[in-house]
Chain A
């Protein structure tokens, strides 16, 4: 699952759960049946789990584009020199 997919999965999960809780409460109250509320809510939770838990292709539409290894070799990561590190430490101690 890519980054966008993770964000989307969390949003979907919260939205679906709140919606099913509200719907279950309204239905249960309207039909004056507490057990019905629990059943409707349980159905909503199962549906939410089915939608958000498996790694559906829907969540993998924005794959990260990594650089080639050869490209990375040409631009090496800048090395932190020992002298600057020492300066920082003394500054902190003061």
Chain B
């Protein structure tokens, strides 16, 4: 600690270590935060249901979604990535997940979602097992913190049945 350079280095090292400790503490506090998310989603219209030239089933649909994600925000939340998937099982896989729509919530003021939209991404099967298939709508959210690990959670919202025949 004789020269000012030594003192500056010691100060910088200790400061960085304590910053790390503060970030760890902030991340640890998030583990005690239990959000209560309320959400509903329903398919309002199957716009098109057909078989691709390559043999894969393809569905475009319209759905409404009301989700209140305000409670997932804490002081250590940078943003929340939220997406809606269609999930179903067929003979090939016990779980198929297809993302239909996604959204980035930048802050708590924009965390109350009320919308009716066309699916951003079409529901495409790997094969043609979708006719008459029961499909679950599941809302997923990834909480991205300022410091610490990303927290993932999900909530099954509703089920719908695809038509027994292609629409076009």
Closest chain-A Cβ to B61's Cβ sits at a distance in Å of 39
Count of inter-chain pairs, beta carbons less than 8 A: 60
Q: A29-B29, A52-B7 are in contact. Are A13 and B14 (CB under 8 A)?
A: yes
- Give every chain A residue within 8 A of B4 (Cβ-Cβ): 53-55
The segment from A32-40, A64-72, A79-87 found at the interface with B is A32-40
Closest chain-B Cβ to A49's Cβ sits at a distance in Å of 5
Q: Is the interface of B mostly helix, strand, loop or mixed?
A: helix
A29–B22 alpha-carbon span in the complex (Å): 11
A83–B99 alpha-carbon span in the complex (Å): 88
Closest to B108 in A: A32
Q: A21-B21, A34-B146, A45-B15 are in contact. Are A13 and B7 (CB under 8 A)?
A: yes
Chain B, 81-102, contact with A by CB distance < 8 Å: what is the 0/1 string? 0000000000000000000000
Closest to B19 in A: A41
A10–B14 alpha-carbon span in the complex (Å): 11
- Give every chain B residue within 8 A of A29 (Cβ-Cβ): 26, 29, 75
Closest 10 CB pairs of A and B: A32-B75, A21-B18, A6-B1, A34-B146, A45-B15, A53-B7, A53-B8, A25-B22, A17-B14, A53-B4
Whether B75 and A34, one on each chain, are in contact in the complex, defined by CB atoms closer than 8 angstroms, is yes
Interface range, B side: 20 to 34
A48–B10 alpha-carbon span in the complex (Å): 11
B:1-46 near A, CB below 8 Å: 1-2, 4, 7-8, 10-11, 14-15, 18-19, 21-22, 25-26, 29
Whether A24 and B15, one on each chain, are in contact in the complex, defined by CB atoms closer than 8 angstroms, is no
Question: A residues within 8 Å of B by Cβ?
Answer: 1, 6-7, 9-10, 13-14, 17-18, 21, 24-25, 28-29, 31-34, 37, 41, 45, 48-49, 52-55
Closest to A20 in B: B18
Q: A25-B26, A37-B22, A53-B7 are in contact. Are A10 and B15 (CB under 8 A)?
A: no
- Give every chain B residue within 8 A of A53 (Cβ-Cβ): 4, 7-8, 11
Whether B75 and A13, one on each chain, are in contact in the complex, defined by CB atoms closer than 8 angstroms, is no
Whether A21 and B19, one on each chain, are in contact in the complex, defined by CB atoms closer than 8 angstroms, is yes
Q: A49-B8, A52-B11 are in contact. Are A6 and B25 (CB under 8 A)?
A: no
- Give every chain A residue within 8 A of B11 (Cβ-Cβ): 13, 17, 45, 48-49, 52-53
